[in-house]
Amino acid sequence: MNTLKEILREHWEYKKQILKLAKSDIIKTYKGAALGWIWAIAKPAVTIAVFYFAFSVGLKSNKPVEGYPYFLWLIAGMMPWFYMRDTIIAGADSIRRYKYLVTKIKYPVSTIPTYVNISQFVINVGLNVIMFAIFMLYGRMPDIYWLQIPFYMILMLLFFNAWSLFAGMLSAMSKDFLNLVKAVVTALFWISGIMYNVNGISIGWIKTIMLFNPITIIVNGFRNSLIYKEWFWENTGELVNFAIMYALMLILAIWSYRKLRKEIPDVL
């Protein structure tokens, strides 16, 4: 508890710096590129186009879902995935990337993953706005269920902020861990129900295990809000699973910070 209080105190005392560094991180990501901010949209757009072509044209699995075109069902799951994918990697690499804040400046290590996470989150907010516009272009106007999207986005932000601290600390100690994280991201994409509905899996124990995956829960939450028109309290089991996984990740983050924070400056 003392470590958690220390982390929260550092975040409160450095809240202005965190926001400034998050803004700086966004600018740094796209600085020097001829297209600049367009890349924030272009990369996800290309990915969606490739998958849409493969599944709709190649495999011809483009049947409407709950009366919605398959393309809308696809982007409803892909948009949160873009944030989660980028944060899994950027969070793990955050302390190594900004090691000068640790080795040359007396700056609280616990806040570095946070502002990197926030910078990715801001970009994803913009992508979600584009997603809403696409839904409306298809004639799917906003309804009361859309109000749940900010709720799922906050859950997503909280979980991956804990992940970023945990992974960032371990990656700072060992680059092998960072390489491992990069290697498993593709596997996470295919086992997290982004391209298919996990609830349709017939093997019970596999379905149960997959519904403990926070990525799956967030993707389901977006689709429940935009496609299936279900309230979050209709899926209390998934929320309980998310709470369990978040508590475990938070414990791991606090443990890694308490154990490694004094050693990281020497290692870096």
pLDDT in tens, the chain (268 residues): 788 888 889 899 888 888 888 888 877 776 665 555 666 677 777 777 777 777 666 556 667 777 788 888 888 998 999 999 999 999 999 999 888 888 887 788 889 999 999 998 988 888 888 889 889 988 888 899 999 999 999 999 999 999 999 999 999 988 899 999 999 998 998 888 888 888 778 787 888 888 899 999 999 999 999 999 999 888 888 999 999 999 999 999 999 999 988 888 877 7
pLDDT on residue 57 = 65
Token reading at 83: 């944030």
CA distance 185 to 188: 5
Q: Tell me which DSSP letter residue 194 carries.
A: S
pTM reported for the whole predicted model: 0.88
Crossing angle between the packed helical segments 175-191 and 149-173, to the nearest 10 degrees: 150
Tokens 């516009």 correspond to 133
pLDDT, tens digit (0-9, with 9 covering 90-100), for 68-114: 888 888 889 989 999 999 999 999 999 998 888 888 877 888 899 99
Query: Which among 97, 99, 101 has a CA at the least distance from the CA of 89?
Result: 97
Half-sphere exposure at residue 116, Cβ-oriented, CA atoms within 13 angstroms:
28
Does residue 225 contact residue 135 with C-beta atoms inside 8 Å? no
Alpha helices in the chain (DSSP H): 2-13, 15-30, 38-52, 70-97, 100-103, 112-137, 149-173, 175-191, 204-210, 214-223, 236-260, 264-267
Q: Tell me which DSSP letter residue 118 carries.
A: H
pLDDT on residue 36 = 58
Q: Give the chain's length.
A: 268
Alpha-carbon distances, residue 103 vs 126, 172, 246 (angstroms)? 34, 12, 30
CA distance 107 to 25: 16
What is the residue-wise DSSP string for 131-190? HHHHHHHTT----GGGGGHHHHHHHHHHHHHHHHHHHHHHHHH-HHHHHHHHHHHHHHHH
